[in-house]
Amino acid sequence: MTIISAAVLLFLVLDPFGNLPFFVAALEPVDKSRHFKIIVRELLIALVVLVIFLFSGRHILAILGISEPALTAAGGAILFLIAIKMIFPPQGGHGEPAMDGEPFIVPLAIPYVAGPSAMATVLLLSSREPARWLDWLVALLAAWLASAVIISMSAFLGRHLGRKGMVALERLMGMLLVAIATQMLMTGIAKFLGSG
């Protein structure tokens, strides 16, 4: 996997277009002058969490005794389920409870940006080729930066794209993620069969 393909994969998993409505809703009761500061803070917290997973992921897998083919196949299955939810969202949305006051860490940084799928993806990248940690860090930073730009423009994009436009973009990203997830699943199975 190249740096560009890893960055694209991480960008799709971070799902900034899908997160836009949640950021808008969570920040609605907060003073508008605080919105940008909160968004930047939450995005930085999410980045720190993902970087920690990037560098500690292979040690976690070693402790748990999880093989690389198993992780690849499991990562593909998880991403496939995430992609299906992006294409066919559950009726009534995510059902997140309404928040009082200013959000801190939960739910914006975790799980919206640094969710289980993003953590699993960086863990997968770092464990498959740990010697390329710098490549994966660059890919993560690129995907995070692109997501940060989109999320920081949440109010502007929400007004100009509208709900239908954002849903269409999220579903398009979901379609691309289905293809990537299927390839990962097939690669994991092929490696397991080849090693047997």
Residue 196, pLDDT > 70, answer no
Residue 94, pLDDT > 60, answer no
Residue in 185, 158, 179 with CA at minimum distance from that of residue 169 = 158
Provide the b/e sequence for 133-154 (b: ≥16 CB within 10 Å). Answer: eebbbebbebbbebbbebbbeb
Residue 66, pLDDT > 90, answer no
Q: Is 95 helix (H, G, I), strand (E, B) or coil?
A: coil
| CA 89 to mean position of chain CA atoms | 16
The H-assigned helical ranges of the chain are: 3-14, 16-27, 35-64, 68-87, 116-128, 133-152, 154-195
Give the tens place of pLDDT for each residue, 39-49.
999 999 999 99
Which residue is associated with the tokens 């999880």?
A: 66
The pLDDT of residue 39: 95
Give the tens place of pLDDT for each residue, 174-183.
888 888 889 8
Residue 135, pLDDT > 90, answer yes
Residue in 126, 43, 115 with CA at minimum distance from that of residue 79 = 115
First to last CA, the chain: 24
CA dihedral 47, 120, 90, 16 (to 10 degrees): 30
The pLDDT of residue 100: 63
Domain extents in the chain: 3-195
pLDDT over 90 for what percent of the chain?
A: 32
Looking at every residue in the chain, the average pLDDT score rounds to: 86
DSSP single-letter state for residue 34: G
Q: What is the CA radius of gyration of the chain?
A: 17
The pLDDT of residue 152: 92
pLDDT over 70 for what percent of the chain?
A: 95
